[in-house]
Amino acid sequence: MGRPRRSGRTTAWKRLLIDPLGHMERLNGIAPREAVFRRKGGLPGQVFAAEILTRPVVLRRVGHELEVHVDRRGVANAIYTTEGKNRLCSDVLRDDRRELAAGLDADVHAFMMEADDGSWLEIPTEKIPLRWASAGVLPVVTWRGQVWSPFFFRDIAPVGWNIAAGSSETEAELNRPVSFGLREFVEEMIVLSRPPATGAEMAAKTFPHIIEGRGQLRAALKTVNRHLDVRSREDGFTIAPFPERAGDIPPERAIEAEFARTRTRLHIRDEKGEQVLSDVLVCFNLLELGIEVISVLEYVLADDDYLLDGEMLAPVGGKTELIRMPVAMISQRYLREVFGTSNADLVYDRPSLIEYIAAHDVWRQVRAGQPSILPDRPPRPDEMVVFGWDVDRRAELAGTDWRDDGWKSDPMRVRHRKWGKTFARFFETGQRTGPPRAAYPYFTAGSAKSVAYYFSQSEGSEQP
């Protein structure tokens, strides 16, 4: 592995250390942490708030335990938009620095999977700065007599099957990644008690007992209810909203879940001291400069339960738009085969995408800017079930009359047509729920690593 070359060019994120306020306007998405976390109402366009760590992150193996030490002291800057995240990655991950990150990524994954007692590994964040914090949930679900994990299909880089995850939004969440990861999960995982049907009155289920704090639960359910209202109006059926208080949710609408125990301990240090979080998984993706803290939830769904994506786009022109990511159950048997300890190496590849060039009215095939994980093989029909309602709705909303040019002025229709040209062939099931004819093969790095670490670090994961 080559040594990073010294360059006379000062990268944008480093210029913030020299003159933070002077570059704040030019560097939309990256700013001094005080401006991001302390400014009332946030900065213009702020959608999350993540620190840029500059003290080393240390991994240790102590007996059967894996320790991850994150040091938040002395953080100067933070990211608050996706544009800022992409800018940080483009400034850092170039030339030999990208080679260094790729080598460290492989080293960290190998350490997580098979480190010996007493060994340790340090990630030099002065060279490879990491974003803090991101968190999510890996579900392990008993459904229709088998054990599965549900995944959302992410259609923007990094592309592939993904778990519910999100970034911190407030300063208090920087030491509580499990808490906001669970909130993201409740907001994104919509569970219906039966498959959707036009004109039907339907009930949804949720997870009222996994979030600590009534305020957090109320905020999550408020977001879920807003989604249910938009979906009811746009998809032609009615879903009753949830009560604001957990105690008011009827038992038949509450899903009981248990946290899987793991052999991973996360140590978070700041100026006030150190906190230790147990029963988590920690995933590093150095090619995105990211760290994800993952909780594993185990629960049971009824055979007729149906999953939908709960994410929404921010209102544009006063209208909230549903993202409509397809959701699929993927069998634990398949996941163990392709990501288990007997197949520990992860293969990165950049999937093909389609972009529309409006000026020339042409579609062009491109490669994703960020790599995803390509397993040895995609799931077979008996190893995957796709919930196809939103796949069909995407096609309907895009419009089937290809002679109609009206879609070109509608961003939603452009988005759905682009999606159809790129991905629709991987989601043809012939029915609302069923195995796809050709399953999409890629996983995001975070989801692939979460599964791998579940099998290697979770207690009780030896179940078939």
- Does position 196 have pLDDT exceeding 80, yes or no? yes
The CB density around residue 22, as the number of other CB atoms within 10 Å, is: 11
Question: Is the CB of residue 15 less than 8 Å from the CB of residue 92?
Answer: no
Question: Is the CB of residue 162 less than 8 Å from the CB of residue 151?
Answer: yes
| DSSP states along 39-73 | STT-STT----EEEE-SPEEEEEETTEEEEEEE-T
Token pair recorded at residue 423: 């991905």
Of these ranges, 29-43, 49-63, 214-228, 418-432, the one predicted with the greatest mean pLDDT is 49-63
Average pLDDT over residues 388-398: 92
Single-letter amino acid code for the residue at 316: V
More confident residue, 69 or 25: 69
Cα distance between residue 355 and residue 363, in whole Å? 6
The whole-number pLDDT of residue 272 equals 95
Q: Sorting pLDDT into bands at 50, 70 and 90, what band is 405?
A: confident
More confident residue, 413 or 291: 291
Cα distance between residue 420 and residue 392, in whole Å? 10
Cα distance between residue 372 and residue 362, in whole Å? 26
The whole-number pLDDT of residue 286 equals 96
Question: Is the CB of residue 440 less than 8 Å from the CB of residue 432?
Answer: no
The pTM of this model reads: 0.91
Average pLDDT over residues 19-38: 70
The whole-number pLDDT of residue 412 equals 87
The whole-number pLDDT of residue 400 equals 64
Instruction: Report domain extents, the chain.
Output: 12-457
Helix residue ranges per DSSP H, 199-296: 214-235
Cα distance between residue 369 and residue 350, in whole Å? 7
The whole-number pLDDT of residue 414 equals 87
Mean pLDDT of the chain: 89
Question: Is the CB of residue 264 less than 8 Å from the CB of residue 227?
Answer: no
| DSSP 8-state secondary structure symbol assigned to residue 428 | -
The whole-number pLDDT of residue 399 equals 82
Least confident of 8-17, 170-179, 315-324, 380-389: 8-17
Q: Sorting pLDDT into bands at 50, 70 and 90, what band is 12?
A: low
More confident residue, 463 or 92: 92
- Does position 128 have pLDDT exceeding 90, yes or no? yes
| DSSP states along 301-315 | --TT-EEEE--EEEE
pLDDT of 408-464, one tens digit each? 788 888 889 899 999 999 998 766 778 888 899 999 999 999 999 999 998 665 544
Least confident of 33-37, 349-353, 380-384, 396-400: 396-400
